[in-house]
Structure 1
Amino acid sequence: MANLLKLLQNEWMKLWSKKGTWIMAGLMVVLIIAMAGIMKWSGSLMDVESDWKLSTQSELENNKNSLEVGILKGESKRLAEENVQISEYRLANDVAPLKDFSREGMIYNPSVGSIALLLTVIVAAGIVASEFSQGTIKMLLTRPVKRWKIMTSKYLAILLFGVLLMLIGFITTILSAFIFFPSEGGQALSISGGNVVEVSIWGHGLYMLLLSFVNVIITATFAFMIGSVFRSSGMAIGLSLFIYFTGSVIVGLLSRFEIVKYLIFTHMDLTMYESNYILNDEITLSFSLVVLTVYLIAFLIVSYTVFTKRDITA
């Protein structure tokens, strides 16, 4: 364990000794602030006071009609039923929803997962591949340390880097929300135990952060595997981004087939369970977590097996 912690410390120091790492962290801060500014500007262009009661009533009627005609099933049906219950509660108790372009709305649904994912993938793709491209792999493996410990230290460094980016992103989002957006009030609601309950914007923001981080872990682990097996960070980044950007398209094309439930693309974005858009109505959050765990273990098995058995002179 002591050796592993020492290796992890070395990997962490090596990671942050690179100028590119600091640039990526700074870039994330700049991008989030810029996105908040753009949202503020675009929101001011659409600054038309709307009657939330009319929109809630319209949403209520649409959900009831969809349920009556029986076109919904699975998760979509569950979401519609919950939305009906929440809409009726809002109208009966005069509880306004959160506004998207508000301080509370920004904190409630922080949009940092995509940026953190892209930056973490870059690090994950090169953390092993760079050892081969720079010719440092032989010196690394001449140490009296087992190879699996070296791989573990690198993988844990990636996860810690992803966690740090998510936290930096969330803190930047909070600061941007207070700088650019006024407090508009409103209350987020959800269903718990069959009853409508109030939701803390801070708790929900952290929960959305956690759901987004699952996608970061899976995609970064895939990049880690490709970089380890093929010793090419470019290939790892390219394939990882291909999965990230085309996953929903592939799911849509294969939605009629049973196999879609077991594809990794279907389950990567767990934030869909907090929205009104479900890629496949036959899956649940628990099922998605099980499928993703299987893929994660498979990626790690391939990574560790290839790295521990590879001939260094090759």
Structure 2
Amino acid sequence: MARLLRLIQNEWMKLWSKKGTWVMTGLLILAILGMFGLTKWVNTMNNFDEQDWKTTVQGELTYSKEQLGNSTLVDGERERLEDKVKVLEYRLANSIEPLSDTSREGMIMSSSGIGSIAVLLTVIVAAGIVASEFTQGTIKMLLSRPVKRWKILTSKYVTVMLFGALLMLVGFIVSILGAFIFFQSGNGQELAWNGKEIVEVSVWGKGLYMLLLSFANVFVTATFAFMIGSVFRSSSLAIGLSLFIYFMGSTLVMLLAKYEVVKYIVFTHMDLTIYETDFRIVEGITMPFSIAVLAVYIVIFLSISYTTFIKRDITA
């Protein structure tokens, strides 16, 4: 274990010794601040009158009750709708306004968008961390050490995941700063049903929870890029395929939405934040089922990576 930790430390220091790593971190910061600034500008330019919040909540309540009449709802979806109805009824009965999406608190809670940027940058690192050893000709020197191959590969994989997690954390901190700089505090409250009563939801807790859910996309996509880079020794191929499935995955899911097989495709489950919204492309799936499917794919991707790396003969 001590040797593995030293390998991870060496890989981590090697990663941050590269100028490109710092550039990517800087791009993440600029991209988030740019998005916040653009959102503020768009809101300023749109001078339309906002609809009364009670009218909006009443519309959501009516729609949710209609959805509850759908006999095809699975238990998880029915429970979610029932909880939502209780919250909406509580708002109307007690005149508690929901937080605006463009309030300071609303922007902090919508931290899931950070993952969209972090996944692109993490994929670049995941795709090249093994493949670069082959392209630069350092793989022989790396494997000549008296260290088991699985430990070498594990140190690289852990480094990739730590990098992705760090990007998410940095992005969350920057988003908080952006929320305080560009947006004003809202007048409403975020509410939820805890199984016994309606309670106020912590803005910070909700923001971190959404951040954690969005990390699933980073985790799965980066693992796929890591596998392709390890097997085919090509970072460009790994980046290309990973970004293709990232951008085209939802399109494929929509095309196959009416078929049962779509429930077992990895693209269907990569965005866990949908379970905090009313948007569903595929009905009849729950978060535990999505997590289970993702876990299976992660095991498959890593099994291929380790088997290939451990058994491969280094001839160049």
What TM bracket, shorter-length normalisation? over 0.9
- Helix, strand or coil for the counterpart of 1:197? strand
How many residues of Structure 1 are paired with residues of Structure 2 in the alignment? 313
1:292 & 1:21 partners in 2: Cα distance? 28
- Helix, strand or coil for the counterpart of 1:175? helix
One-letter code aligned to 1:297? V
Q: CA deviation at 1:194?
A: 5.4
Q: Deviations for 1:19-55, whole angstroms, at most 9, x for unmatched residues?
A: 0000000000000000000000111123434311111
Superposed structure 1 runs of 4+ greater than 6 Å apart: none
The counterpart of 2:144, out of the listed 142, 146, 151, is 142
Which residue is equivalent to 1:97?
98
One-letter code aligned to 2:21? T
Q: CA deviation at 1:280?
A: 1.9
State whether residues 4 and 151 of structure 2, in contact with CA within 8 Å, keep that contact through their aligned partners in structure 1.
yes
Q: CA deviation at 1:273?
A: 0.3
> Counterparts in 2 of 1:53-92, with a 5 A limit?
53-68=54-69, 70=70, 73-74=73-74, 76-92=77-93
State whether residues 212 and 269 of structure 1, in contact with CA within 8 Å, keep that contact through their aligned partners in structure 2.
yes
Which residue is equivalent to 1:7?
7
Which residue is equivalent to 2:27?
27
State whether residues 104 and 185 of structure 1, in contact with CA within 8 Å, keep that contact through their aligned partners in structure 2.
no
> What is the percentage of aligned positions where both structures have the same residue?
62
Q: Deviations for 1:147-206, whole angstroms, at most 9, x for unmatched residues?
A: 000000000000110111001000000000000001112111222215432211100100
Q: Deviations for 1:28-83, whole angstroms, at most 9, x for unmatched residues?
A: 00000000000001111234343111111122122223334x37623554443333
Q: Deviations for 1:238-293, whole angstroms, at most 9, x for unmatched residues?
A: 11111111111111111222211111011100000001112322211111111111
The counterpart of 1:196, out of the listed 176, 195, 198, is 198
Q: Deviations for 1:194-244, whole angstroms, at most 9, x for unmatched residues?
A: 543221110010000100111111110000000000001111111111111
Which residue is equivalent to 1:170?
172
The answer for unaligned runs of 5 or more in structure 2 is none
* TM-score scaled by length of structure 1: 0.96
> Counterparts in 2 of 1:230-249, with a 5 A limit?
230-249=232-251
- Helix, strand or coil for the counterpart of 1:299? helix
> Counterparts in 2 of 1:209-248, with a 5 A limit?
209-248=211-250
One-letter code aligned to 1:299? F
Which residue is equivalent to 2:278?
276
Q: Deviations for 1:112-152, whole angstroms, at most 9, x for unmatched residues?
A: 01101110001000000000011110111111111000000
1:238 & 1:109 partners in 2: Cα distance? 28
Which residue is equivalent to 2:314?
312
Question: Taking structure 1 as reference, are residues 248 and 71 closer, same or farther at Cα in structure 2, changes over 3 Å only?
Answer: farther
- Helix, strand or coil for the counterpart of 1:112? helix
* TM-score scaled by length of structure 2: 0.95
Q: CA deviation at 1:300?
A: 0.5
The counterpart of 1:159, out of the listed 116, 141, 161, is 161
Q: Deviations for 1:69-117, whole angstroms, at most 9, x for unmatched residues?
A: x376235544433332221110001111010111000111112011011
2:71 & 2:268 partners in 1: Cα distance? 21
The answer for unaligned runs of 5 or more in structure 1 is none
Which residue is equivalent to 1:126?
128
State whether residues 76 and 277 of structure 1, in contact with CA within 8 Å, keep that contact through their aligned partners in structure 2.
no
Q: Does 1:294 align with 2:296?
A: yes
One-letter code aligned to 2:149? R
State whether residues 266 and 297 of structure 2, in contact with CA within 8 Å, keep that contact through their aligned partners in structure 1.
yes
State whether residues 11 and 156 of structure 2, in contact with CA within 8 Å, keep that contact through their aligned partners in structure 1.
yes
Which residue is equivalent to 1:186?
188
